[in-house]
Amino acid sequence: MHIIAATLGLSGLLLSSAVAFEAVKYLGAGYLIVVGVRTLLSRSADGAMPMRPRRHFRRIFADAVVVNALNPKTALFFLAFLPQFVDPARGAITLQILALGALFVALGLLTDTGYALSASAAAYRLRTSSLFERMRTRLAGVVYIVLGASAAFTVRSEG
């Protein structure tokens, strides 16, 4: 999504407009804080995380799109990063940015798949840990709140 926005120059709005950047930043921070608070409040009386019904793939995808769309740093990254590798003498700039973005996504997919497989292997050990079972909901809620607060209080550097 951000690669297409950078290609079309839309992410430049976030770079040039402090108001747009701040709005997206605070929306993203608020979303993370809400998720954290909901996670903390969802635990049952004994502290164990309640079994959640399986969520439909569309809902998971929609949540991921919201998180991605509300991350202004990703848009700024692609706006600043991709044009450095564009050579106007080699053809259409738009196609070059799209190709570089696709390469970035492919590399990210490979590394993220490795992380996911490693996490899957560690998940069994964590599920059998009684200490982790008691602490995981609290830990997840606190992490979301800290990430949201961190995003909200991050100062935009000029330059």
Q: What is the distance between the alpha carbons of residues 151 and 153, in angstroms, rounded to a whole number?
A: 6
Say yes or no to pLDDT of 138 above 90. no
68 backbone φψ class: left, alpha, beta (φ>0; ψ -120 to 50): alpha
Alpha helices in 42-129 (DSSP H): 57-69, 72-81, 93-127
- Go through the chain and tell me how many residues it has: 159
Go through 49-82 and write b for each residue having 16 or more CB atoms within 10 A of its CB, e for each that does not: beeeeeeeeeeeeeeeeeeebbbbbbbbebbeeb
- The pTM of the full predicted model, rounded to 2 decimals, is 0.49
62-86 tens-digit pLDDT: 888 887 777 777 777 777 777 778 7
For range 32-58, the mean pLDDT: 72
